[in-house]
């Protein structure tokens, strides 16, 4: 049987300092690398590769660019991760094997809402998308928020750890730290809490 693989995803919203605009590419890269170090230390502690007392040490690891410009840790070159950022969101996925991740922020356009109304901006964006594309039952999930998992009739099954299979159409809300898998435990995912 293949070794169980978990994918850990860390998301940071509003990763740029408040009240600033026009950050240079170098500033965004520096902030991204700071968040990468923090997320890597959380990931390595969570999977038992380093102990909690050494987490701060991992946050000081050196980064170098690989042959295609992707950062990698000098002290831990076999650490597999993928970074993506868009708008004010930064995201990183970690795995025991090579992984890819891409996020894309969609906005209303400049001047639609004042900057201080970011929560209302998100609510309106979700409302506009849900009104156009979703069934009324799907809109309820969006309004209730959180992370939800629903089996849509998969051939091999959707499972909550430690092995409870969801029936077709069954949906559950997942909390940080909960694990689910698709088909077999080889395809496991863990819900990570935002910092």
pLDDT tens, position by position, 170-192: 878 877 788 888 887 777 777 77
Each residue's pLDDT tens digit, 79-98: 999 998 887 788 899 988 88
Domain borders along the chain are: 1-104, 133-195
Say whether pLDDT at 106 is over 80: no
Is the pLDDT score of 142 beyond 70? no
How do beta strands 164-165 and 171-174 pair? unpaired
Question: pLDDT tier at 16 (50, 70, 90 boundaries)?
Answer: low
The fold for domain 1-104 equals: Ribosomal Protein L22; Chain A (3.90.470)
The answer to whether 73 touches 79, Cβ cutoff 8 Å, is yes
User: Average pLDDT over the chain, rounded to whole?
Assistant: 76
State pTM to two decimals.
0.52
Looking at mean pLDDT, say which of 32-46, 96-110, 176-190 comes out highest.
Answer: 32-46
Rounded to whole angstroms, the Cα distance separating 182 from 175 reads 17
């Amino acid at each position: 049987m293949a070794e169980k693989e978990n994918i850990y995803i860390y998301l940071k919203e509003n990763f740029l300092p408040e009240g600033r605009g026009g950050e240079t590419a170098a500033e965004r890269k520096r902030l991204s690398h700071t968040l990468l170090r923090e997320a890597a230390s959380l990931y390595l502690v969570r999977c038992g590769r380093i102990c909690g007392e050494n987490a701060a040490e991992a946050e000081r690891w050196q980064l170098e660019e690989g042959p295609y410009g992707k950062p990698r840790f000098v002290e831990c070159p076999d650490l597999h991760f993928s970074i993506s950022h868009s708008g004010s969101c930064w995201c990183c996925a970690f795995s025991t094997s090579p992984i890819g991740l891409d996020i894309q922020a969609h906005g209303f356009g400049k001047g639609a809402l004042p900057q201080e109304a970011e929560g209302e901006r998100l609510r309106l964006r979700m409302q506009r998308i849900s009104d156009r594309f979703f069934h009324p039952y799907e809109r309820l999930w969006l309004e209730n928020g959180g992370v939800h998992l629903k089996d849509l009739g998969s051939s091999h099954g959707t499972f909550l750890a430690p092995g409870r299979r969801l029936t077709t159409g069954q949906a559950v809300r997942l909390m940080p730290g909960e694990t689910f898998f698709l088909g077999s435990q080889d395809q496991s995912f863990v819900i990570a809490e935002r910092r």
